[in-house]
Structure 1
């Protein structure tokens, strides 16, 4: 029987000794990643009480949401590169500290503008943390263990996004209308403090370097400005505002900045310097197809919970807790299938994503067909469809992260993972902007029929998921025809230095 690349890799470096604290280190990373992703969705269900408690207007509320998304998206790639070039543990701890302190500031904010500033800083902290997580996984694990670690990471992504509304609803209920929304932010403080303490003890320190790598500061400025100009028109539009009213003209300068960034990176590499992004990754089919698949899947995946929450809370009068409970089957299904897919990705590869995307599309279609005809106990009646969507989603995120980063050298894991995460953030912003605009437009046309508006939004969501399915099928055909394998082909990383206890 022929050995798999994973098995070959495991035996390729007999002097390699796995870090004995690697699984505990993973737990620290997963906790931090979950904390940052929860704050993407947990705030949504607290918005009604937050608005009332601070006397916030539509513009304030929009920036409380958009500020986090903007800072998060802009920081991902530069902070991933910083972790690659310097001490990933130090960068991680700084990110958690920034996130924790800004969470405390957000919870204590007496006026809307201060909460908006705190959310921007909080998003920056999240953007610092997230690429370090995938970087640590790449460096600490090999072969089948790496697939398992990424399966846990994928489960965390699905659970955090889906469980956010439920946790937010619980905190609002516990804290009441005046203090509940503040609890949504305060809950991060003890968690963040614990993560910092554990990170100092369990995360590996950087190996000693003879020469410090270049941080490519001009490339950071060009890339950051380009991403900012792309995200701004996507996240700044208010509820009910048409897509045409957004400042789309910013996409022109953004495109020019991206071209300038690419030219700069080529010139910087010719000088023998390390670049912010390894542009050669885009020539690797596994990475390019995974990047495209993730972008379109997150464009649909992220918006599902937002429009469903609007339908349940505003349309049907559900409480924040009831709305959160409705989407809980998605979280359960996603957690189970993500963990299982980590064990199967070595054998089935891209087939898992194809199966998962078909399942998600079918589940959303079922919800679309059911919603106009439901009366009473809507959450219970939709539970099986959400469970199916969750089971499918867990087969998409985990295998895609594993397969996309499989051929990325661990020394570039932070920037490679940051680029993947940035594409997913941009996809999320595009999906939310387009689908929310459609939802409110349909709401006006149908004279307040939330079920009809949800159906329109779901059909666009299905469209995004189907595009992701096309990329998955193309990559599956390519891998089958070339007899490709999902495991990494790069040289094994050198053992990392451990922090002295």
Structure 2
């Protein structure tokens, strides 16, 4: 595993001496756009009360403002990554940025919660178009230790965007006022998107020389994958709005459709290029890494969901103060992501395992701090544990992504990144649903004890992290057995 990471996976056909001199500027543009799309996963959470007041929005529409974005985001990741692999990533990236910018402007000016939901669905599509191009371009433009550094910066971007979203959202609402401050949450994307388009054309290469000329779009595979993802995600993104147990028949149907997708891809792959090359999962680095990512994101994303609920709904924190509470996590995540990107080629998957242990310890201490200081001063009590959790998270996300994609051919980098991120979206949706159910169920059964609900939800979060740790340790053990056999 470490050897694959050190070698940078499949060669791009150019050593660092012949690398594109624009690669770091291209990466900067990609990270800015990626930050913008990932920020919108969490920034809207603190704006929901203001949106309810400003648009007189029903609870069902508020649910779709959040979950609709996640649904369409996850839906298009793989097809968009595939299209970028086939036709060149620059134009696909620019199209995604332009669409995201227009959808953000539409969300900001809307006068109806229905139109806001539609704008969010389009935002999610655009975000799903952009993100696999980012990981694909890193694979295309960087190799060796530079690739680890680039993925380290991407991991820092993921950590910052997820953790700083509530803070930035609270600040914008504070500046814009209770009635229309929520509109700034969407307007902030417009100048960023506009300013990113021209540098993207200037610095991102039109296409990689290693790109394979594939003409097949595999429409049946794309359709089966889309239907399967929707069926699996829908009950989770609906959350509390869909009552009854019948909704859980949909994930079972979705799994059956995805099984059909796998069978089709195997059959189709015998005569043409499928939308997902299933041989990716024959590489231990990719299979283990994708599973670690899905399990970790199930817990990682939910941390800020339940923290925002606890502080705002339970303790009455204003949006800005609730957002500030996540700042220690963001600071730790940034620092460790950059460091992890530099060290991953040396330590490999054991560093990911160490990061997961650190996250689990940080969350356990956070649970203890809430137990000891359950009142208004809880944000100060959990600051240090969240800092430790952020440090651990920085050693998980970007190093794991580097290792997962280390052996993927560059010509399939967009597709592989799309599959990886689809797994993350599925994991995040399921984690938020499971952890949110524990939170809301405990609130109801304990007559409004939000501190107890937050603690119980944290325990479920720790469970997901420990499951990811078990997979990482299994990969470390498998790598050692392989090394012994090779000797």
C-alpha distance in 2, partners of 1:295/1:279? 18
After superposition, the Cα gap between the structure-2 partners of 1:387 and 1:5, relative to the gap in structure 1 and judged at 3 Å, is closer
After superposition, the Cα gap between the structure-2 partners of 1:4 and 1:402, relative to the gap in structure 1 and judged at 3 Å, is closer
C-alpha distance in 1, partners of 2:257/2:17? 42
Contact 2:286–2:405 (Cα < 8 Å) also in 1: yes
C-alpha distance in 1, partners of 2:4/2:253? 50
C-alpha distance in 2, partners of 1:150/1:356? 16
* 1:258 CA drift (Å): 1.3
Match of 1:88 in 2: 89
Contact 2:40–2:165 (Cα < 8 Å) also in 1: yes
1:307-322 correspondence to structure 2 within 5 Å: 307-322=306-321
> CA deviation digits over 1:305-339, x for unaligned, max 9?
01111111111111111011111000000000000
* 1:179 CA drift (Å): 1.7
Contact 2:363–2:462 (Cα < 8 Å) also in 1: yes
C-alpha distance in 2, partners of 1:338/1:292? 20
The answer to whether 1:56 aligns with 2:72 is no
Match of 2:22 in 1: 21
The answer to whether 1:437 aligns with 2:437 is yes
Matched residue count: 480
* 1:210 CA drift (Å): 8.8
Match of 1:480 in 2: 480
C-alpha distance in 1, partners of 2:208/2:449? 59
C-alpha distance in 2, partners of 1:40/1:11? 32
1:285-324 correspondence to structure 2 within 5 Å: 285-324=284-323
Contact 1:74–1:224 (Cα < 8 Å) also in 2: yes
* 1:14 CA drift (Å): 6.1
After superposition, the Cα gap between the structure-2 partners of 1:3 and 1:380, relative to the gap in structure 1 and judged at 3 Å, is closer
Match of 1:358 in 2: 357
1:48-447 correspondence to structure 2 within 5 Å: 48-207=49-208, 211-238=213-240, 245=245, 247-271=247-271, 273-374=272-373, 375-447=375-447
SS state at 1:226 partner? helix
Structure 2 residues not aligned, in runs of 5+: none
C-alpha distance in 2, partners of 1:426/1:260? 18
Match of 1:497 in 2: none
C-alpha distance in 2, partners of 1:4/1:186? 40
C-alpha distance in 2, partners of 1:283/1:7? 18
Contact 2:86–2:213 (Cα < 8 Å) also in 1: no
SS state at 1:237 partner? helix
TM-score (norm 1): 0.92
After superposition, the Cα gap between the structure-2 partners of 1:127 and 1:12, relative to the gap in structure 1 and judged at 3 Å, is closer
Contact 1:10–1:143 (Cα < 8 Å) also in 2: no
Structure 1 residues not aligned, in runs of 5+: 485-501
After superposition, the Cα gap between the structure-2 partners of 1:342 and 1:316, relative to the gap in structure 1 and judged at 3 Å, is same
- Across the aligned residues of Structure 1 and Structure 2, the Cα RMSD in angstroms comes to 2.1
C-alpha distance in 1, partners of 2:311/2:435? 16
TM-score (norm 2): 0.95
After superposition, the Cα gap between the structure-2 partners of 1:3 and 1:429, relative to the gap in structure 1 and judged at 3 Å, is closer
After superposition, the Cα gap between the structure-2 partners of 1:4 and 1:306, relative to the gap in structure 1 and judged at 3 Å, is closer
